[in-house]
Amino acid sequence: MEKLFQQLNKAIMDSLQEGEYLSLGYGGENSNFTRINAAKVRQIGNVDEADLTFNFILNGRRCSGGISLSGDAEEDLNRSLTELGRLRAEVVQLPEDPYLVLPDSTDTSTNVKHGDLPDSEEIPAKLLPAMGSADLTGIWASGRIYQGSANSAGGYHWFATDSFSLDYSLITPAEKMVKATFAGTHWDQEAYTGFLADSVNKLKLMSLPPRKIEPGSYRTYIASAGISDILSMFSWGGVSEAAIRQSESCLGKMRNESKKLSELFTLSEDFSSGFAPRFNGNGEVAPEKTVLIDKGELINTLVSSRTAKEYNIESNYASGDEGLRAPVMRAGSLKEADVLKALGTGVYLSNLHYLNWSDMIGGRITGMTRYACFWVEDGEIVAPIENMRFDDSIYSFLGENLEQVTDTTHVNPDVGTYDGRELNAVICPGVLLKSFALTL
């Protein structure tokens, strides 16, 4: 795939006229998908696809476009030049952009990460035995994902990585569910078997008569998957410098009112895990690690070059939307085996669902408990709980009510495939809270 990108990049850049600037983005995958229903393989398929995106600039005006690639260099070049002609005709009709950033990075990089994935014909034998007679429905995805970036200044970047994920639900005869995702870059059969066994044990507990709990604040444990969903909300007007300056960020109080979260909470943008490339759509390379919140204190934000130009500040080469691309939350000291004992009596939440801001400026998040959420008494799970809505502020549950953080982080991948398999993953532990507000 890289050879095709190199060929197209050279030919397209050579065709540019005086005063024209261009950034190209390449995204592709060679993936295997296996659909499982009732713990049996129902469908197997392979996807080989690639797309080329254009960010075209002329006379202070910008427009964008894209094409799907066929893999035939001549055909793809003809499509690319046709798309470039369309952008030339469109850009002159647009207004000037006062905060336009020219693609002037000359940095180059090549980063190819090799994983250890099961061969496609081995996948059923690897996955099915551990499922036993459980009613499991899920999607397996594995293979190589590619990203490339190039610009008219000579900048060039290429990134490729191997990964896998099994995103699944286990279902009881009464249609109660346990949801989980097993993912990574190096297959470990023993780890997979143990991970699935934990889900099967939770499924057995879901067969117990459910308990309805009244609205109120409860001592609560939120597992890594739930914390991953909460941290993802920080990309919606959270760690963005532009959002803070425009009073549209949940972290505005940390900047403007010196509010802090718990000393147990540290969040970084950390590319060392290798799940996502450090370069953004402009071909700019972010630092390998940027600590955003250190022991509860806001230290840095994500700053794109456009925001840097608008506010005359320094960029750390965030993406255009200034969202998290490689979030990592620091682990703590609570052993996962001791979670129920440390919780004592309260609520155990494996997953959260339908999250949204109920008060962005106040940092309030609302959502639903979902899948394998339990009532715990004296360190033992006694019943699943009926679905509840929660509504609480990060300044509360990630602030004074954050009691402990587990000593193990888990990889929570974005399993979306709408525009191809995603590279992003949230790496985080679980948290024990003194209090968490369940509202109805």
Whether the pLDDT of residue 419 is over 90: the answer is no
30 confidence band (pLDDT: 50, 70, 90): very high
Band (pLDDT 50/70/90 cuts) for residue 273 is confident
Structure tokens, 126: 């690897």
Q: Which CA distances in Å does 410 have to 56, 69, 141?
A: 39, 35, 18
Q: Which residues pair with 390 in a beta bridge?
A: 367, 438
Residue 121 has pLDDT above 90, yes or no: yes
Contact 202, 178 (CB under 8 A): yes
| Residue 174 pLDDT > 90 | no
The backbone torsions φ and ψ at residue 132, rounded to the nearest 5 degrees and listed phi first, read 55, -130
Whole-structure pTM value: 0.94
User: Would the pLDDT of 237 be above 90?
Assistant: no
Is the separation of the CB atoms in 126 and 192 below 8 Å?
yes
Whether the pLDDT of residue 282 is over 90: the answer is: no
Residues whose CB is less than 8 angstroms from the CB of residue 51 and which lie 6 or more positions away in sequence, other chains included: 26, 27, 28, 66, 67, 68, 69, 419, 420
pLDDT confidence band for 270 (50 / 70 / 90): very high
Q: Show the DSSP H helices in 158-275 as ranges.
A: 189-206, 224-232, 241-245, 252-256
Segment 46-55, tens digit of pLDDT: 999 999 999 9
Indicate whether 128 pLDDT > 90: yes
The answer to whether the CB of 421 falls within 8 A of the CB of 201 is no
CA distance 428 to 440: 28
Mean pLDDT of the chain, nearest integer: 96
What would the pLDDT profile of 61-104 be if each residue is shown by its tens digit?
999 999 999 999 999 999 999 999 999 999 999 999 999 999 99
Which residues touch 260 (CB under 8 Å, ≥6 apart)? Answer: 254, 296, 297, 298, 399
Q: pLDDT band for position 258 (50/70/90)?
A: very high
User: Please, where are the H alpha helices in 207-348?
Assistant: 224-232, 241-245, 252-256, 305-311, 339-343
User: In sequence order, which residues have a C-beta less than 8 Å from that of residue 78 and are 6 or more positions away?
Assistant: none
Residue range(s) in the chain whose domain bears CATH number 3.30.2290.10: 2-206
pLDDT beyond 90 at 416: no
Going by pLDDT thresholds of 50, 70 and 90, the confidence category of residue 179 is very high
pLDDT digits (tens, 9 = 90+) for 337-347: 999 999 999 99
Which tokens hold the place of 175? 């249609």
Q: What is the pLDDT of residue 28?
A: 96
Quick one: pLDDT at residue 134? 92
Cβ neighbours of residue 358 closer than 8 Å, sequence gap 6 or more: 364, 365, 366, 391
Percent residues over pLDDT 70 in the chain: 100
Question: Is 278 strand, coil or helix?
Answer: coil
pLDDT tier, 417 (very low <50, low <70, confident <90, very high otherwise): confident
The pLDDT, as a whole number, for residue 59 is: 97
CATH class of 2-206: alpha beta
